Amino acid sequence: MNEAFRARTVEITFLGYTGETIIGALRHHLGELLDDPGPTRRVCIRVLVPDFVQPMIVPSRVGPNGEPLDDPAVRRHREGMCQGYDHALSAFAERLNGLGRVTVESEFRLYPGIPRDKICIINRELVLHGLYDVIARPVMRLSDPEYYDPQGYRTDLNVWSARDSDDTRAAVATWNKHLDGLWSLATVPPWRQVTAT
C-alpha cells in the first residue's frame, strides 16, 4: 500500500467482515499524510461490510449439532464495530480535510450476505482477494458458547496486478466492475442515515 499513497489520487475499495484490517492499515498511511502528503491530493475510501441487521448464519452461535443459530446480540456487536471503524475513519478524514492539503472521502455501505470474501482494490490496479474461513470457531473464554466467527487476519490473499499481464489486467478489470456493482447496490448504514426533521 506504500506505493499507492505516492499517487496523486488514492482509491481504496474494501469488502470484508468489519473493516478492521483495512482501517488498521489506513490509519498508518493517513497518519503519514498529516505530516507530509507528498504528491497525494485526494483519497477516496469505500468500505463494504455485511448488513448485520439481517439474520445471519455467520457470525452465529454454534448449535448442538453444529448448525448455525442466528444471534442478534453478536450481530449488534459486529455492527457496532463497523460503526466505530467508520467514525474513526471519518474523524481522520475531517482532520486531514481541515488542513487543506489533502481531500479525504470515506464511506461505509452494507451488502446483504455473510462475510465470505475479503477483497481490497488499490488504485483500481491491484486486487487482493481471499476467502474467510466461515466455519472458524475462535475461543473467547471457556465459559462462552461457541460462535462461527471468521478471523480476517488469518485470511490468505491472492494478488492480481494490472501491470503484470493481459490476463491479470482482465482479472483486475473484472474485480473493479464487480465491486463497483456491489457498491451501487449497497445500502447506507443506519448510523449514517439522516432523518428529516
Residue 164 CB contacts under 8 Å (≥ 6 apart), including other chains:
none
Residue 173 in domain: yes
Per-residue pLDDT tens digits of the chain, which is 197 residues long: 888 999 999 999 999 999 998 998 899 899 999 988 999 999 999 999 999 999 999 999 999 999 999 999 999 999 999 999 999 999 999 999 999 999 999 999 999 999 999 999 999 999 999 999 999 988 766 667 899 999 877 789 999 999 999 999 999 999 999 999 999 999 999 998 865 45
Rounded Cα distance, 147 and 19, in Å: 19
pLDDT score for 81: 96
Give percent helix, percent strand, percent coil of the chain, each to the nearest 5.
35, 25, 40
In a domain, 165, yes or no: yes
Q: Which domain holds residue 136?
A: 4-192
What per-residue confidence (pLDDT) applies to 142? 66
Nearest to 49 by CA among 92, 3, 1, 106: 106
Bridge partners, 160 (sequence order): 127
Residue 42 grid cell: 485526494
The answer to the question of residue 162 being in a domain is: yes
Within-domain flag for 59: yes
Distance CA 162, CA 61 (A): 40
Q: What is the pLDDT of residue 154?
A: 77
pTM: 0.92
Question: What is the number of structural domains in the chain?
Answer: 1
Give a yes or no: residue 9 inside a domain: yes
3 state SS of 52: coil
Is 197 among the domain residues? no
